[in-house]
């Protein structure tokens, strides 16, 4: 087994969760790398769609923003912003979304808007962008994030994207089409919602412990009855992944 960075570990575990044929609404950074890795391993028919309206990109370089022109040259299709949100996302064609955010809470709700009070914020974040609708309408979605206590509060300060609200039944009652968060991939392991919608620790990465995960989570983190260990990154996965980001813009330890 090779050595690897935390971003590499998270990206490889996220890639494994993607299925062949998935249609993924994807941003830049680790989710983009995870999708490309999945395409080169077990999911050759995965379709990548960028919020900027680009479908089936073949970028000649690693894209640095979702509006990178290298995503457009040689793509299969490009459409307007209204169309990408209405005809693709709202129509229900997206199977997987990736969410970012400063906070994710016990029931998988995500905050990308403000820390503190909305009108007098401690930290003003960029806001929703596409996140409000992706979380609602993609069939399922994932988060890749370092495991830090401030990122995992009991309850988000502002609900930019609905997870299970205050429990799975509440999301179901709201009538939104998508299935909500499926997993949070961190540098320690993987959290998944249980039958109540609460995020519980289901998998640990090699060398990490449940205690570490608990210490870095802002609520009483439960551990799944069958806690599993994730398979370490393979040599092939690492090689393919590093080939996607040769300058280690996203994959370095600080990434």
Partner 1 sequence: MAKLTSLREAVTSLIRDGDCVYAAGFTHLIPFAAGHEIIRQQRRNLILARATPDLIYDQMIAGGCARKVIFSYAGNPGVGLLKAMRAAIEAGRLEWEEYSHFSMISRLTAGAAGLPFLPMNPTAAEDLAKVNPNFKRLTDPYSGREVITVPALNPDVAIVHVQRADADGNCQLWGILGEQREAAFAADRVLITAEEIVDAAVIRSDPNRTLIPGFIVDAVCHVPHCAHPSYSQGYYDRDNTFYLEWDKISSDPERLKAWLDEWVYGLDDREAYWQKLGPETHRRLQVEPRWSEPVNYGKH
Footprint of partner 1 (CB under 8 A)? 23, 28, 47, 51-56, 58, 60, 64-70, 72-82, 85-87, 89-93, 109, 113, 118-119, 124-133, 135-137, 158-162, 165, 171, 174-177
Paired with 121 in beta bridges are: 116
The least distance separating partner 1 from the CB of residue 136, rounded to whole angstroms, comes to 4
Nearer to partner 1, 36 or 95 (CB): 95
Distance between CA atoms of residues 150 and 165, nearest Å? 19
Distance between CA atoms of residues 35 and 16, nearest Å? 9
Nearer to partner 1, 113 or 203 (CB): 113
Nearer to partner 1, 89 or 238 (CB): 89
The least distance separating partner 1 from the CB of residue 26, rounded to whole angstroms, comes to 14
Strands 199-204 and 189-193, by their bridges, are antiparallel
The least distance separating partner 1 from the CB of residue 238, rounded to whole angstroms, comes to 25
Q: Answer yes or no: are the C-beta atoms of 62 and 245 closer than 8 Å.
A: yes
The least distance separating partner 1 from the CB of residue 212, rounded to whole angstroms, comes to 28
Nearer to partner 1, 76 or 239 (CB): 76
The least distance separating partner 1 from the CB of residue 18, rounded to whole angstroms, comes to 15
Catalytic residue among 51, 133, 198, 237: 51
Nearer to partner 1, 63 or 189 (CB): 63
DSSP symbols for 38-104: HHHTT-TT-EEEETTSEES---SS--SSTT-HHHHTT-SEE--HHHIIIIIIITT---EEEE--SEE
Q: Which ranges in 25-95 belong to alpha helices (H)?
A: 30-40, 69-72, 81-83
Distance between CA atoms of residues 218 and 115, nearest Å? 15
Q: Give the angle subtended at the CA of 40 by the CAs of 147 and 18, to the nearest 5°.
A: 45
* 175: Cβ contacts below 8 Å, ≥ 6 apart: none
C-alpha 220: how far from its chain's center?
Answer: 23
* Catalytic status, residue 195: no
* Catalytic machinery residues: 51
């Amino acid at each position: 087994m090779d050595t690897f960075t935390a971003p590499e570990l998270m990206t490889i575990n996220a890639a494994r969760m993607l299925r062949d044929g998935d249609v993924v609404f994807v941003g830049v950074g680790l989710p983009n790398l995870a999708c490309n890795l999945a395409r080169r391993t077990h999911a050759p028919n995965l379709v990548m769609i960028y919020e900027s309206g680009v479908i089936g990109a073949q970028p000649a370089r690693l894209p640095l923003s979702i509006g990178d022109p290298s995503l457009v040259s040689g793509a299969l299709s490009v459409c307007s912003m209204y169309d990408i949100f209405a005809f693709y996302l709202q129509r229900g064609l997206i199977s997987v979304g990736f969410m970012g955010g400063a906070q994710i809470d016990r029931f998988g709700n995500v905050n990308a808007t403000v820390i503190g009070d909305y009108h007098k914020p401690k930290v003003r974040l960029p806001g929703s962008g596409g996140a409000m609708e992706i979380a609602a309408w993609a069939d399922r979605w994932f988060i890749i994030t370092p495991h830090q206590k401030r990122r995992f509060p009991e309850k988000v300060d502002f609900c930019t994207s609905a997870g299970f609200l205050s429990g799975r039944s509440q999301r179901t009652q709201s009538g939104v089409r998508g299935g909500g968060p499926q997993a949070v991939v961190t540098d320690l392991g993987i959290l998944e919602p249980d039958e109540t919608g609460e995020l519980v620790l289901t998998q640990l990465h090699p060398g990490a412990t449940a205690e570490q995960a608990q210490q870095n989570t802002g609520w009483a983190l439960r551990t799944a009855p069958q806690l599993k260990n994730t398979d370490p990154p393979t040599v092939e996965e690492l090689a393919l992944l590093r080939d996607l980001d040769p300058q280690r813009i996203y994959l370095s330890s600080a990434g």
